[in-house]
Amino acid sequence: MQSLGPEVVRVRYQVTPDTLGDPAIYFRVVLADWAVDRETLGEVTRKIRNVFFDQLKPIENWGLYPYFRFRSSAEHSPEPEWN
């Protein structure tokens, strides 16, 4: 988690087929509120995604394509897959 940077508060994951039915792993990433800025959000999440791709290598190691969803701490996330 440390290599993800201070922007990341929490990560949850779920191994489940993607919308095409192919093997996949979904990462749900909660960001610190201060890290969420309309102008830089795309760049911030791109860097976080690349950490998962480059360090976990889910495709090469597990044959799972990684997908990502991001929320901020301030947003209410009652769904169990986010907690």
Partner 1 sequence: MAYHDELLAQAEKLLQGDEKDLTQADLRRAVSTAYYAMFHLLIDETTLNWNRDSSRHTLGRMFEHGLMRRVSQRLVDTRAFAFPGADPVVLQKLKDVAKAFVNLQDSRHLADYHNGVIWNHIESLDEVSAAKDAFAIWATIRHEDIAQDYLVSLLIKPRD
Residues found near partner 1 in the complex (CB under 8 A): 18-20, 24, 31, 36, 38, 41-43, 45-46, 49-50, 53, 57, 59-60, 65, 67-72, 75, 77, 79
Closest approach of Cβ 6 to partner 1, in Å? 17
- 70: closest CA among 56, 37, 53? 37
Distant-in-sequence, close-in-space partners of 49: CB < 8 Å, separation ≥ 6: 66, 68
Closest approach of Cβ 83 to partner 1, in Å? 14
Any idea what the Cα angle at residue 21 is, between residues 9 and 46, rounded to 5°? 35
As a residue count, the chain comes to 83
Closest approach of Cβ 11 to partner 1, in Å? 15
Task: Report d(CA 49, CA 52) in Å as an integer.
Answer: 5
3 or 33, CB closer to partner 1? 33
